[in-house]
Structure 1
Amino acid sequence: MKKLKVKKDAECMACFQCVIACSEAYYKAFDPGKSVIQIVEKKGKIKPMVCPQCGKCAEACEQQAIKQNAKGVYTVDKKLCNGCGKCVEACPFGLMVKAEEKPTSSKCIACGICVKSCPMEVLEIVTD
């Protein structure tokens, strides 16, 4: 399974470069609310919150628009997605995005744009 992960014991400096890279790549604007990676404080540490590819979004999708590909990554089929937002509500990590100006939801596809943008090398793409 291919997925984005936070490296163990890596220290995030909350520069938001990963968030900027994600929102600019997919929405052409810096808007943290449109990024599918978020910076959070957890147990006194600042770290990126990334999609673990759990599939909760796919389970909630009544249109079967979210499917797991051969690499284990859940993707949104924009032709099937009706933009209802049930996947956004179902995501236990708050990482699904449904922007008003877009007809469909979006999620992390483990593309690696955030990995390349991180100056602290906190993120990595792994294959289990």
Structure 2
Amino acid sequence: MKKLNVAKKDACMACKACEIACSEAFYKKFDEDLSCIKISVQKDGVSPKPVVCVQCGKCAKVCPEGAITQNPKGVYMINKKKCVGCGKCKEVCPFGVMVKAEEAETVSKCIACGICVKACPMDVLEIKEA
């Protein structure tokens, strides 16, 4: 299974380079709300915490159109032709990393492309194949 993984969570500086890279790749602009990776705050209320899609499949289970399916590498992908933009997948995501821009017709999610991994100056992220 291929997925984005937080390899060094304590090394995150909250520079948001990963969020910038993701939102620019998918939406051609930086908007942290449009990123499929989020920099949150740990329980201590101070330390940054990268939050990523773990490819759990909860989004696929609730999609009424069957627009979200798992590819052979284990990544859940959204078929933009089938997606009606209802947002049920976004509502059920336990990590809050599914994105629906106001102007977009469909939802976006992490596809483990690695753009955020390349952007991270601290090597916090990795693409893992299990």
Counterparts of 1:6 and 1:119 in 2: how far apart (Å)?
14
Please tell me whether the aligned partners of residues 9 and 50 of structure 2 are also in contact (alpha carbons under 8 angstroms): no
Aligned with residue 105 of structure 1, among 77, 102, 107: 107
Percent of aligned pairs with the same amino acid: 64
Residue 83 (structure 1) aligned to one of 79, 82, 85? 85
Quote the Cα distance in structure 2 between the aligned partners of 1:90 and 1:64: 15
Q: CA deviation at 1:10?
A: 4.2
Matched-pair contact (CA < 8 Å) for 1:75–1:107: yes
Could you state the TM-score of these two structures normalised by the residue count of structure 1?
A: 0.97
User: How many residue pairs are counted as aligned between the two chains?
Assistant: 128
Deviations 1:26-59 (A, max 9, x none): 0001000000000011232312100000001101
Distance in 2 between residues matched to 1:37 and 1:54, nearest whole Å: 15
Alignment of 1:127 with 2:119, yes or no, is: no
For residue 26 of structure 1, what is the amino acid of its counterpart?
F
Q: Do the aligned partners of 2:36 and 2:97 also contact (CA within 8 Å) in 1? A: yes
Letter in 2 for 1:4: L
Partner of 1:96: 98
Question: 2:2: which partner in 1?
Answer: 2
One-letter amino acid of the counterpart of residue 123, structure 1: L
Q: Which amino acid aligns with 1:119?
A: P
Matched residues in 1 for 2:9 and 2:99: separation? Answer: 28
**Alpha-carbon distance, 1:60 to partner:** 1.0
- C-alpha separation in 1, matches of 2:62 and 2:90: 9
Distance in 1 (CA, whole Å) between partners of 2:9 and 2:80 is: 36
Q: 1:18-33 residue pairs with structure 2 within 5 A? A: 18-33=18-33
Amino acid aligned to 1:15:
C
More displaced 10-residue stretch of structure 1: 20-29 or 37-46: 37-46
Q: Residue in 2 aligned with 1:69?
A: 71
Gaps in structure 1 of 5+ consecutive residues: none
